[in-house]
Amino acid sequence: MSRGVFLDNSLKNKLMDICNQAYKDFKNIKNVVGVGIGFKYVDGKNTEELCIQVLVSKKIDEKSLATNDIIPKEYLGIKTDIIEVGSIAPYI
């Protein structure tokens, strides 16, 4: 389990810029409901490697997706992690 990550402001700002750009690029991909920065998980285990987390309503096998609906394994040199979160609705 991660013990916390401390980022200097320069790195934090760079990650936020990349995350904002990723959202602009991924928001029209089928099932994408959000984008964030976090740790990559492989087989349910935290790798403690920072990545771009792409939140989807439902994971779909890559073979069943149109080419333009496939999320790249890396974005701007940073690995991506696809996380199924279900439907998201505002809580009022």
Encode pLDDT of 32-62 as tens digits: 999 998 899 999 999 988 899 999 999 999 9
pTM exceeds cut of 0.85: no
DSSP state of 72: P
Distance CA 52, CA 24 (A): 13
CA–CA separation, 57 vs 4, rounded Å? 27
Residue 4 pLDDT grade (very low, low, confident, very high; cuts 50, 70, 90): low
With bands split at pLDDT 50, 70 and 90, how would you rate the model's confidence at 1?
very low
- Distance from C-alpha of 74 to C-alpha of 5, rounded to nearest angstrom: 21
